[in-house]
Structure 1
Amino acid sequence: APTTDNQQRFFRIPFARPSDEFRDDPTHKKHGQWYAHFDGQYIARQMELYPDKNPLLLVAGVHDLQMCELSLDETGLTRKKGAEILGKDFEAEWNKYGGRELLKTCGNRMSSTFLQKRLGVVRK
């Protein structure tokens, strides 16, 4: 089998906050979109967008405690029909909500070597 080391993959799935999941009235459920960028098997960036909240943008190495802890294989995202999106579509949403600026502030704390190379960051 070919190795998937450092393959960049991007996903978007509908998402409900755990606090909204068990509400009886479906009109009050706040479904949003969950975006993920995987650098190989591990998450590099994560974004949560809800209609009624500020966007949440997270970068591995900086916001680890708030991010998906599963490997790409463990998430099952690669088997979920329609979940994988193009990198340019992820980047468009990421940049629309200030992602480019966020990455600049994260610097060498980012754990993704792909993002470090893209930004010209040397990890200490």
Structure 2
Amino acid sequence: MKKLVFLLIVSLSLISCEDLWNNDDDGLYYPFPEEPITLFEINIGSSGDRVAETSLGNFEDNRSAVFQIRGQHSRVSELDQNPDTGEIIFRYQPRRGFVGEDYVEIIAPTDKSGNQIFESKTLEFYIKVHD
């Protein structure tokens, strides 16, 4: 009898958890294969005159992205938010004369409800600076 009650409790627990993981309206980010790309490659000349810009999209509740790793060889490596649309723009400009590779990591919020679970993703930028 104790085994039957135990199995019943475990079964009901698993069934109730199914709703948690399959509910698309709960505001949590789950890593589905159709999620946006989080790996970017930027090719830019070493003259130092051009600034590469990449849109990171819009984030809810005026939340913004932040740097986890800034470019080591940059003259400009910044995040800017359009106050009207909320769109976040990443701007990168290499130091004048630098030729080689640089790397940037940006943490972007993904949770619209302010929950602490699955609340951000890492955007990686591999930057190749050429002559």
TM-score (norm 1): 0.24
- Structure with more helix by fraction: 1
Q: Which has the larger radius of gyration?
A: 2
TM-score (norm 2): 0.24
